[in-house]
């Protein structure tokens, strides 16, 4: 059986996606599949499973600003040509952010009728829009931070300041509405931090999600078709879990299973499964949380195409559970092959 791995893409998470594609390609091959890898931003060039596409280190330099993140004619034509010439049995997208994760790619694959791993068009688009995702999770009973959206046309420091100060005060968190890997995220301590925060969002070409700061331990839970894996606790040695701390060696400690109470672990795993189903996700996803000392927690977001690099959190949870990554790959492909008829 032949699997086409899609990685790279046109978002600010491009380099991370290439690194994820390198690992996924290797694990799929170890699971017994014939594998080819393809970066839609470089039309026509197909790579073998073992070909390394990512640089040796991905967290040293900050990510470059995203391209427009939209499918253009060259990207679409190139992808359709590769599907036609390679004739894969299924597609494994691991394109973080942009058109790879916001439902555009999924809609194209639905249109041509080829099975693919991960969530479908609607779930992908809803999960990518953090405000929509939070509303759906809250309606399902999953606690989320208080927040609001500011559209690009209204970007102005007084607009941000007025809403923050009226609704919940400082500190606050400002991040791209549709971004990932904490690219463009800023913790705002007071009004003086707003100008830099707004500039960081503007550089991403995105709307802004502003949330009340919630103090707590950083946790994440992998869910595979409603099955919650052990929670991972994330402890950056300095600062917060930003892009550099995520993808650089020796900057963050990870504890799996997270050293939290059995009750907290059960509640957070149950909330992760509820969030997964509330958005209509499929395959595997990663759901991020903050847990306060009081036991209160909030869900930050659902990642429908989570990182699969050597520093990523899904592989840690899988190994802690006593499973291998090739086993996860096989399970994910089998789910995709059963889910060709998707709800648009």
Instruction: Pick the catalytic residue from 8, 11, 13, 69.
Output: 13
Instruction: Pick the catalytic residue from 178, 301, 312, 331.
Output: 301
Active site residue 288: yes
Active site residue 247: yes
The DSSP bridge partners found for residue 211 are 147, 173
Instruction: Pick the catalytic residue from 124, 247, 283, 312.
Output: 247
Instruction: Pick the catalytic residue from 25, 129, 307, 312.
Output: 307
Active site residue 12: no
Contacts of 46-52 with C-beta under 8 Å, sequence gap 24+, read 46/82, 46/86, 49/5, 49/25, 50/25, 50/26, 51/25, 52/22
Buried b (16+ CB within 10 A) or exposed e, 99-108: bbbbbbbbbb
The two tokens of residue 83 are: 């599907």
Active site residue 217: no
Instruction: Pick the catalytic residue from 21, 38, 103, 286.
Output: 286
Active site residue 84: no
Instruction: Pick the catalytic residue from 119, 124, 303, 312.
Output: 303
Sign of the alpha-carbon torsion through 164, 184, 8, 60: negative
* Residue 103 half-sphere exposure toward CB, CA atoms < 13 A: 16
Chain centroid offset of residue 198 CA: 22
Instruction: Pick the catalytic residue from 124, 181, 245, 339.
Output: 181
Backbone angle region of 243, left / alpha / beta, with phi > 0 → left and psi within -120 to 50 → alpha: alpha
Active site residue 181: yes
- With beta carbons less than 8 A apart as the criterion, state whether 13 and 41 touch: no
Active site residue 303: yes
Active site residue 286: yes
Residue 181 vs residues 70, 78, 184: alpha-carbon distances, Å: 19, 27, 9
Q: Which residues are catalytic?
A: 13, 181, 247, 286, 288, 301, 303, 307
């Amino acid at each position: 059986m032949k699997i086409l791995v899609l990685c790279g893409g046109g978002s600010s998470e491009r380099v991370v996606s290439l690194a994820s594609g390198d690992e996924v390609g290797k694990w799929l091959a170890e699971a017994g599949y014939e594998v080819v890898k393809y970066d839609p931003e470089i039309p026509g060039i197909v790579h073998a499973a073992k070909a390394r596409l990512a640089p040796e280190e991905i967290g040293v330099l900050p990510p470059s600003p995203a391209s427009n993140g939209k499918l253009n004619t060259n990207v679409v034509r190139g992808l359709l040509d590769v599907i036609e010439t390679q004739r894969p049995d299924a597609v494994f997208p691991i394109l973080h952010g942009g058109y790879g994760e916001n439902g555009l790619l999924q809609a194209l694959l639905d249109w041509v009728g080829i099975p693919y791993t991960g969530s479908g068009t609607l779930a992908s688009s809803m999960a990518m829009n953090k405000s929509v995702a939070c509303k759906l999770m809250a309606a399902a009973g999953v606690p989320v931070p208080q927040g609001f959206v500011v559209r690009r046309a209204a970007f102005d420091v007084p607009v941000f300041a007025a809403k923050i100060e009226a609704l919940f005060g400082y500190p606050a968190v400002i991040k791209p509405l549709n971004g990932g890997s904490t690219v463009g995220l800023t913790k705002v301590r007071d009004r003086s931090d707003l100008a830099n925060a707004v500039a960081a969002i503007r550089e991403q070409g995105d709307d802004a999600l502003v949330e009340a700061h919630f103090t707590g331990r950083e946790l994440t839970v992998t869910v595979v078709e409603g099955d919650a894996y052990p929670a991972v606790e994330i402890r950056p040695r300095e600062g917060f879990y930003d892009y550099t701390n995520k993808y650089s060696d020796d900057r963050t400690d990870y504890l799996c299973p997270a050293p939290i109470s059995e009750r907290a672990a059960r509640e957070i795993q149950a909330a992760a499964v509820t969030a997964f189903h509330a958005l209509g996700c499929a395959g595997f996803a990663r759901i991020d949380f903050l847990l306060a000392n009081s036991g209160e927690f909030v869900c930050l977001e659902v990642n429908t195409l989570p990182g699969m690099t050597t520093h990523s959190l899904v592989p840690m949870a899988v190994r802690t559970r006593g499973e291998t990554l090739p086993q996860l790959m096989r399970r994910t492909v089998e789910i995709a092959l059963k889910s060709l008829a998707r709800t648009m």
